[in-house]
Amino acid sequence: MSKIIKELFNTLKIRKISVLVITISLFQSTISVLVNFLQLFLSEKHFSPFQISIVLTVALAFSAFTSLSIGKVSGVFGAQKAIKTSLVLVLGAFLILKTNIYIILFSAVILLQCGFEFVDTSLNVVIQDLSNDKIRTSLISSVNTLTACLMFFETALITALFSLFKVEYIFIFTGILATSLTLILYFIFL
């Protein structure tokens, strides 16, 4: 166990891997928190509970399909290009959430969910490929632990901000900020 922990810390000292761990954790935590607040956001956009359930169900179905096609998409376009493109699409989804047109909001939520699934899964594949068999599980656990800690603080912060500002503004601003930072960190990683 001590050898595994030592190996993990030595691996995290490698700048490229530590940047990737931070990138994955930031993206997973922030977008996961925002997805948890998606019902509140859509409610503020005057979607009924029934409409919200339809939107979220369809978005999750598309997300599942996206998850199944990650290997094919990465094979055709290359993993790096596919991740960068997906991050740009997620950024675009957050930008168009400002509208009040239902079909555009519906499309943006699907795009957001699919882009999140693609980037999240693809970055986790990258970190698995970069780690050796001895520390792979510990490294993935490190990512998950950091993600959980960030989610705790982000949920508290975003909830507090929702009480001070309009949900729409905080939701969109946080999504744009997190996705932009992820894109920057991913370029640093590359």
What is residue 69's predicted lDDT score, i.e. its pLDDT? 84
Architecture of the structural domain at 2-189:
Up-down Bundle (1.20)
Report the alpha-carbon distance of residue 16 to residue 20 in Å, rounded.
6
Read off the pLDDT band of 139 (50, 70, 90).
Answer: confident
Q: Is the pLDDT of residue 7 over 70?
A: no
Asked if 190 and 23 count as a contact pair (C-beta separation under 8 A), the reply is: no
Q: Is the pLDDT of residue 76 over 70?
A: yes
Asked if 110 and 59 count as a contact pair (C-beta separation under 8 A), the reply is: yes
For the CA atoms of 3, 9, 138, 37, the dihedral, rounded to the nearest 10 degrees, stands at: 160
Chain centroid to CA 44: how far?
Answer: 22
Report the alpha-carbon distance of residue 131 to residue 126 in Å, rounded.
9
What is residue 3's predicted lDDT score, i.e. its pLDDT? 66
Average pLDDT of span 118-131: 85
Average pLDDT of span 49-71: 90
- Residue type present at position 112: L
Higher pLDDT, 7 or 87: 87
pTM of the predicted structure, to 2 decimals = 0.86
Q: Is the pLDDT of residue 16 over 90?
A: no
What is residue 58's predicted lDDT score, i.e. its pLDDT? 94
Q: List, for residues 107-121, the tens digit of each pLDDT value.
A: 999 999 999 999 998
Q: What angle is formed at CA 160 by the lines to CA 154 and CA 161, rounded to 5 degrees?
A: 85
Q: Residue 118 contacts by C-beta under 8 Å, 6 or more apart in sequence?
A: 66, 67, 70, 73, 82, 83, 86
DSSP assignments along the chain, one per residue: -HHHHHHHHHHHTSHHHHHHHHHHHHHHHHHHHHHHTHHHHHHHTT--HHHHHHHHHHHHHHHHHHHHHHHHHHHHH-HHHHHHHHHHHHHHHHHHTT---HHHHHHHHHHHHHHHHHHHHHHHHHHHHHS-TTTHHHHHHHHHHHHHHHHHHHHHHHHHHHHHS-HHHHHHHHHHHHHHHHHHHHHHH-
Average pLDDT of span 96-100: 93
Q: Is the pLDDT of residue 5 over 70?
A: no
